[in-house]
A = this chain, B = another copy of it.
């Protein structure tokens, strides 16, 4: 017979999880500011209402904290991109809306995006990060695929490129734009906008026989 889940137990678990999230958010804040290599547990704690000791009360060690952060980042990420997927009725509308949304997040959430690329690079070295990174990549890939598929549909054709390839092309475009933007290039946003629109046309070419 299983132990029934009492109300008090779930309340405790909820509170525990809430605090974990709170600490993870403070950690994400610090990580996006300093980067993985320069972020310490004490620095994270200073950007939170707690002392540094509490981190080991809610997380076994640093790896578990960072892993939890990466997973949490994904939630933020998906939400962000879900907002991007517009309910456009024409190809032109979708293309313009999508490009605009990407450019907006490039500028508004630059530090969070650079953290993502930092952690993805860490996954090249630390095996413990790989599973989560690959999962986030796949999630983003599906997002992009939905946009491109819909665009191709509106244009009256099918995507000319596999989902995986399509995603990495958009990702490469964004990554480069992020570096330029953080380097102070005012042209970064504009280049990204035209790049995205060009790429959309490329992977979903207008059906000439329509």
Contact = CB atoms under 8 A, between A and B. Distances in A.
Interface of A: 34-38, 114, 117-118, 120-126, 130, 133-134, 137, 160-162, 164-165, 167-173, 175-176, 178-179, 182-183, 191, 195, 198-199, 202-203
Report the copy number of this chain in the oligomer.
Answer: 2
Nearest to A130: B183
B124 A160 contact: no
Given A164-B195, A165-B199, A170-B172, 15 more contacts: A35-B126, A114-B124, A118-B125, A120-B121, A124-B182, A130-B183, A133-B179, A134-B179, A160-B202, A161-B202, A167-B176, A168-B172, A168-B176, A169-B173, A202-B202
Contacts of A38: 125
Contacts of A37: 36-37, 122, 125
16 contacts: A35-B125, A37-B37, A114-B121, A118-B124, A121-B121, A123-B179, A124-B178, A124-B182, A130-B182, A133-B179, A161-B198, A168-B172, A168-B173, A169-B169, A172-B173, A172-B175
Contacts of A202: 160-161, 202-203
Nearest to A173: B168
Nearest to A113: B124
